[in-house]
Homo-oligomer: A and B are copies of this chain.
């Protein structure tokens, strides 16, 4: 069950750039992904922080094709492929596997609430079976604050039993360490990789058998987060974690996705990056100034971002 090419480490739910007309901007996207890889961070494109659910399946396929066309290694990619509608999840997942992506991060269908584990099992099972690829690696995406559809230990157990080769792990964005630990205790080490959904739990996760983290702020602070992953057994690990928490704490004072984009716009010297798709709204000029001022005061920079 242990793949030689298993994705581990720190991944970024890559923010998606939009042009002034709100269409996705593949050139900026390719540049940003190249920069993140240069910072030792993998590409969880089409995550929550990517505004993935504000993109059509066609737009996501086009962006993925552009990354591959630009020579970016698909083994470093874990695109989000879970949608409300089964055919959408199947279509994007099949496309990602065909391109050789190292894994896919799969939201449960998230419109209907209060659905049963039977219904969720069947949702994931239909995608896995209809994609029908032995090299598919699914990472289940638990993010109850947003999706409002949680994934339980019992559901993961059933999925692992039915599809031990395909069900490769999960991202836990619940923000509740006791839940992450319960999944680590139950499944880590058995070929099921648990990624906390923020670097806040990176060190704690690694000490309990975690596989890394997939975090919003890996978009802006990638090298430092990746360094803790690489050196979590070192004596300065707690100090590194505290520094990561300090930077994340500043971003967390603002609406996260617009704040990430404002930081990329500022340190990248590219104002167009601040654009978000509705229903999100960009930071106000005042919010952007406050964010940058607080990050400046904390000696934060984004080295190598500016072209």
Chain A residues in the interface with B (C-beta under 8 A)? 22, 48, 53-59, 84-88, 91, 108-113, 115-116, 118-120, 122-123, 126, 145-149, 277-281
Contact = CB atoms under 8 A, between A and B. Distances in A.
Number of copies: 2
Contact of A281 (B91, B116, B149, B278): B116
A16 to B, nearest CB: 12
A86 B119 contact: no
A109 B279 contact: yes
Contacts of A59: 85, 87
A270 B109 CA distance: 28
Contacts of A281: 116, 118-119, 122
17 contacts: A53-B109, A53-B111, A53-B112, A54-B84, A56-B57, A56-B87, A58-B87, A59-B87, A86-B277, A108-B279, A109-B278, A113-B146, A113-B148, A116-B281, A120-B279, A122-B281, A123-B278
A279 B85 contact: no
A279 B145 contact: no
Contacts of A147: 111
* 5 tightest Cβ-Cβ pairs between the two chains A and B: A53-B111, A119-B279, A122-B278, A123-B278, A115-B279
A86 B278 contact: yes
A123 B149 CA distance: 24
Given A55-B85, A112-B146, 5 more contacts: A58-B87, A113-B148, A115-B279, A119-B280, A122-B278
Contacts of A88: 56
A10 to B, nearest CB: 24
A86 B22 contact: yes
A85 B108 contact: no
A85 B53 contact: yes
Nearest to A59: B87
A7 B272 CA distance: 43
B115 A280 contact: yes
Contacts of A118: 281
